[in-house]
Amino acid sequence: MSYSFPTEDTIAAICTAIAAGQGGVAIIRISGSKAKEIGESVVTTSKNKTWESHQIMHGFVLSKDKAERIDEVLAFLMAAPKSFTGEDVVEIHCHGGLIAVQRVLEMVLATNQARRALPGEFTQRAVLNGKIDLVKAESINELITARSHKAAQLAMTGIDGGIQRKIDMFRERLLDQLSELEARVDFEDELPPLDGEKLLEEINDVQKSLIQLVNDANQRSIIHHGINIAIIGRPNVGKSSLLNRISKKERAIITNLPGTTRDPLETEMILKGVPIKLIDTAGIRDSDDEVEQLGIEKSHNEMIKADVVILIYDLTFGWTQKDEELLIMIPKQTSKLIVGNKCDCLDKAHKQSEKNLQKKKIAEVIFSAKSGEGEEKLIEELLERCGASEIQSLELGLNERQKDLANLAASSLEDVKKVAKQNLPWDFWTIDLRHTIKLLNEITGDEISENILNRIFSRFCIGK
């Protein structure tokens, strides 16, 4: 969908999450030249009360015929430029829930002086009016959508300017090298010889730093989007029991009958700051049951899509040929964890046997979904495959848009190095160096098209 943001319009939207029976307060935000006029029209305050900037007023929102009080509210005017958007902004604080706030918004729109805000439109106006930079705007959105403490921490780093400062530093270093090159292009006879090796060292150092940012961004993506973990295995090996044990919820039905689980069952949780989605799949076996076959097919699909696969088998049966076939089916690039379940059902002789199997790397974790034995080891191994230790050490995380641009910038610097190896004139060096600087400018929003801005902010929530 294509979005257009005509900034001359006055816009309005509910800027808080709303749900029936939840939230004591809901806020309507109005931004634009007509905001104050709309506020005065919709909110009835004391007769001797005038609307002044940054002062809270008490009042009521009445129906069109003034016969009904829709809600008792607080109104707050923030005159330009001292507002989030840099325009005149009015916030109407209503009671929470669904009905009252929706009716008040209808009264605002019924003035025909404001239209509904598009997703991200308030924040885009803040960027266009110089109130915040693009990176900070994106970080605010990421803070709102954060699903863990670490994700919120990384978002705050962006809000505090950490990403902006890092990219600005790279840009300044490259601008220094570009100015040296361009000076030689225009006045080479009048200046001392340029040390090409030293220039390449600086370019190489910036490139390595950009590549590190890209690698860190991949870890940040795990924090933000979470990790999908599929639990696979033969019927009745304890897949549903494992899901219930780790999630601490009775999410899955457990019986002694094979084929109980038909559709994949999902549960979400946070483990050591990492958002995780555990997916309990149907037991994989040969079956003539058409419904069970569909469930098994879904299990295959979940296994292929998963970031990590837990292959669980029954220790009382030992490692079978069917388990080996399942292991082979897991995509090679997918992280996997082999768990031997039902260790509580083994006698001492069997347990010693299973310890020997563990040494042969068949069972990486010996576990009991019933008693919880081995649960700590299971979670530890699972987090290791999720890269939890690397995630916790992250201090900065680019989003997908920023990461792609940083990756292109690193590639562009590689092109500079290729030109250098060919001993081409200085002006050839400047072409890719300028392109790299342009890409860095796009990360921070210093050089970005309207279409790209529209695309970025259209992904924000309405009211932000």
Q: How far apart are CA 332 and CA 328, in angstroms?
A: 8
Minimum mean pLDDT range among 36-40, 44-48, 167-171? 44-48
Q: Where are the alpha helices (DSSP H) in 345-421?
A: 348-359, 375-386, 388-392, 400-421
The secondary element (H helix, E strand) that includes residue 229 is: strand 227-232
Q: What is the mean pLDDT of residues 399-422?
A: 91
Which three-class secondary structure state does DSSP give residue 259? coil
Q: What are phi and psi of 271, to 5 degrees?
A: -115, 115
Q: Is 441 left (phi over 0), alpha (psi -120 to 50) or beta?
A: alpha
Q: Which residues are CB-neighbours of 113 under 8 A, at least 6 positions away?
A: 10, 34, 37, 38, 41
**pLDDT (0 to 100) of residue 74:** 95
- CB of 242 closer than 8 Å to CB of 369: yes
Express each pLDDT in 264-309 by its tens digit: 677 888 877 778 888 887 555 444 445 445 655 666 777 777 888 8
- CB of 279 closer than 8 Å to CB of 312: no
DSSP state of 115: E
Mean of the per-residue pLDDT values for the chain?
A: 82
Which residue matches tokens 């816009």? 11
DSSP state of 19: B
Cα angle value 37/41/42 (rounded, 5°):
120
Q: How far apart are CA 236 and CA 343, in angstroms?
A: 14
**pLDDT (0 to 100) of residue 257:** 40
Which residue matches tokens 């999902």? 266
Q: Is the pLDDT of residue 357 over 70?
A: no
- CB of 4 closer than 8 Å to CB of 454: yes
- This prediction has a pTM of 0.71
**pLDDT (0 to 100) of residue 296:** 56
Domains and CATH numbers, the chain: 11-133 (3.30.1360.120), 156-222+399-444 (1.20.120.430), 226-392 (3.40.50.300)
**pLDDT (0 to 100) of residue 88:** 96
